[in-house]
Amino acid sequence: MGLEFLLGVGVVTALNTVLALLLVLAERFLADYGPCTLALNGEKKITVAGGRDLLATLKDQGVFIPSACGGRGSCGLCKVTVLNGGAPLATELPWLKPDEIARHIRLACQVRVKHDLSLQLPPQWLEIRQYRTTVSSLRDLTHDIKEVRLRLVDPPEIEFKAGQFIQFEVPPYERSDETVYRAYSIASPPSAKNEIELEIRYVPNGICTTYVHRHLRLGDPVTINGPYGDFTLRPGEREIIAIAGGSGMAPLKSILLDMAEKEIARRIRYFFGARALRDLFLLEEMKTLEQRIPGFEFIPALSKPDPMDAWNGETGLVTDVAARYLPDASEAEAYLCGSSFLIQAAIKMLTSKGMPRERIYFDDFG
Amino acid sequence: MIAAFSSWFALFFSAVFTQNILLTNYLGMCPFLGASRELKTSFGLGAAVVLVMTFTTPLNWLLYHSILLPLGLEYLALIAFISLIAAFTQLTELVIMRVSDSLHAALGIFLPLITVNCAILGASLFMVARRYSFLQTTAYGLGGGLGWMLALLAMAGIRQRIAKNRLPRGLEGAGIALIIAGIMAMAFTAFTGMATPA
Ligand SMILES: Cc1cc2nc3c(=O)[nH]c(=O)nc-3n(C[C@H](O)[C@H](O)[C@H](O)COP(=O)(O)OP(=O)(O)OC[C@H]3O[C@@H](n4cnc5c(N)ncnc54)[C@H](O)[C@@H]3O)c2cc1C
Ligand code: FES
């Protein structure tokens, strides 16, 4: 009996040892891709350990690629030219146009570094950096939107264009066991280089927004990287139609403050959609901006005002309200910001009013 | 020879249809319910199960008949089979990752998931309980995998079709899927008249 028991233990141990050995050997010979050289824009060369995806590999080297999904393959922002990277994967195809595939564009988070790669990225991406900051103020703008101010520590200043966004790094905490990154637009003007302001709307069960709304305290350290994005004011004289909802306020506020500081006077009508009065915010700031920018008009619209709100402003979906104000939009340009739903509806409305598709700029928050 | 082949084929056929491991034994239910919303994902998952079942069932046969049985350690079959399946899926994932990124994206990502798929362990335990020969086991492994994949694809196809239909609240998701699985199981028994395993 005792012998049989020992035999059993011995055989299982031996079997598992052999299997483990096989796996160790496989790791050693199959999973080790050795050092790989990445050539950036034909000049900068960096040597990295192969085996991981390009987005994460580059981030470790201090090269930041735009990403709003943190590498899950669901934002399509991390496009880089990989000259010798092979054909895109099925997971990338929804994000790539035929001409981009022909130009060897890939999603960096889906490319595994297995051999030397020759990459091309916009030179300004090499300027993107990581910043250590601390929380200098927290304020509730509405019941579900928080204003978060971050004072820059190292480096102490950030250069960006009004309308751009940064990535907020969420350390592992009770809701996620890995570091994740989420995109947030900067709401403060570029002139304030040593402190940036974010407006973060709570998403139930969201990893980053729960962290910000429930855990973040004054004085906490926060790491960000950026700036990213091209949702910026295009120069010119055209009339501007802006449509936003919820935290979509953030980039537009930055753009408006920047215009006020630079004394850019253009006709702007800004339609802002909210459900009820309790979802409206920054009304005082918008009034002040109306005085500072000649030609600026802020038009809030409530889709479901509460009977207690005593609201005598516009009601209805913000896109329907904007449609009533705009008999013809063919000469204007538009800036849209908020949920995918809002943006799709606004694009449909504006093109039906004669606005060419290429003059509609937007930031889709998802 | 012909007799051997026909027994081989009958076994293969019954593993795919009449004795479908998913529909008659209800093994491998979690991924069957969890990953049957879309035909495309189902295809990758199904292919991964075919691959793993086809190889691990005969490998486990060898393990059982050349080591466990001679040493009188049949009672360790469960543990030994699980170890071998786990090592096999990990190894296969490393190989696939090495040879092709697109194959890895389509199929390899499912491998860690099916390490714990009970249909795969079930196939190995059944081949012992039913005293299959090595060749029969090979046929059974391949047939069992294909049968599992077939059931998954059929389910995904049906669920895609009914995705927009309105259902009573309590039946949404797993509820209706289980009912469909029951009807499918009944439908599959209709194949019995066509072939019965020797
Ligand atoms: C360019 C860009 C700029 C952005 N700027 C801002 C900003 O200034 N302020 C801001 O609050 N957000 C902004 N976002 C959205 C932000 O990046 C996050 O997606 C959002 O805060 C949710 O993150 P999370 O980690 O809390 O949720 P996750 O853990 O990522 O998601 C949890 C669940 O919520 C769903 N979900 C994700 N995002 C949303 C959403 N926005 N609304 C409803 N459901 C959602 C997911 O599908 C998932 O099921 C921006 C996004 C982009 C792409
Ligand atoms: S980082 Fe979002 S798709 Fe690659």
Give tens-digit pLDDT for B83-110: 999 999 999 999 998 888 888 888 888 8
Atom of ligand 1 nearest to the CA of A231: 1
Whether B169 maps to a domain, the answer reads no
Which ligand is closest in space to the CA of residue A58? 2
Whether B19 maps to a domain, the answer reads no
pLDDT digits (tens, 9 = 90+) for A181-219: 899 999 999 999 999 999 999 999 999 999 999 999 999
The 3-state DSSP class for residue A249 equals helix
Top-confidence range, A234-243, B7-16, B172-181: A234-243
Over range A340-350, report the average pLDDT: 95
Q: Output the CA torsion A51→A55→A57→A63 (10° steps).
A: 160
Query: Given a cut of 80, is residue B2 above it in pLDDT?
Result: no
Nearest CA in chain A to B106: A90
Per-residue pLDDT at B196: 55
Per-residue pLDDT at A329: 93
Whether B2 maps to a domain, the answer reads no
Query: Given a cut of 70, is residue A12 above it in pLDDT?
Result: yes
Nearest CA in chain B to A31: B94
Over range A319-339, report the average pLDDT: 95
A12 vs B79: CB contact, 8 Å cut-off? yes
The answer to whether B47 and B145 have CB atoms below 8 angstroms apart is no
Whether B178 maps to a domain, the answer reads no
Per-residue pLDDT at B198: 47
Whether B21 maps to a domain, the answer reads no
Whether B64 maps to a domain, the answer reads yes
The ligand 2 site (C-beta within 6 Å) comprises A 55, 67, 69, 71, 73-78, 107, 109
Q: Which residues of B touch A23 (CB under 8 A)?
A: 87, 90-91
Show the domain range for B94.
37-162
The 3-state DSSP class for residue A30 equals coil
Q: In whole angstroms, how far apart are CA B23 and each of A260, B115, B183?
A: 68, 20, 10
Give the count of Cβ contacts less than 8 A between chain A and B. Answer: 58
Q: Pull the structure tokens for residue A163.
A: 């309308």
Please name each of the domains of chain A with its CATH number: 35-125 (3.10.20.30), 128-228 (2.40.30.10), 240-361 (3.40.50.80)
B102 vs A112: CB contact, 8 Å cut-off? no
Whether B54 maps to a domain, the answer reads yes
Query: Given a cut of 80, is residue A106 above it in pLDDT?
Result: yes
Q: Which residues of A touch B105 (CB under 8 A)?
A: 89-91, 110
The structure's pTM equals 0.72
Within 8 A by CB and 6+ apart from B83, the residues are A12, A15, A16, A19
**Cβ atoms within 10 Å of A59's Cβ, excluding its own:** 20
pLDDT bin (cut points 50, 70, 90) of residue A332 is: very high
Work out how many domains chain B is built from and give that number.
1
Per-residue pLDDT at B1: 56
Q: Does A7 contact B at CB distance below 8 Å?
A: yes
Which ligand is closest in space to the CA of residue A173? 1
The predicted complex's ipTM stands at 0.85
pLDDT digits (tens, 9 = 90+) for A67-94: 878 788 888 989 999 999 888 998 899 9
Min Cα separation A34/chain B (Å): 13
Ligand 2: centre distance to CA A105 (Å) = 13
Q: Pull the structure tokens for residue B42.
A: 């189902």
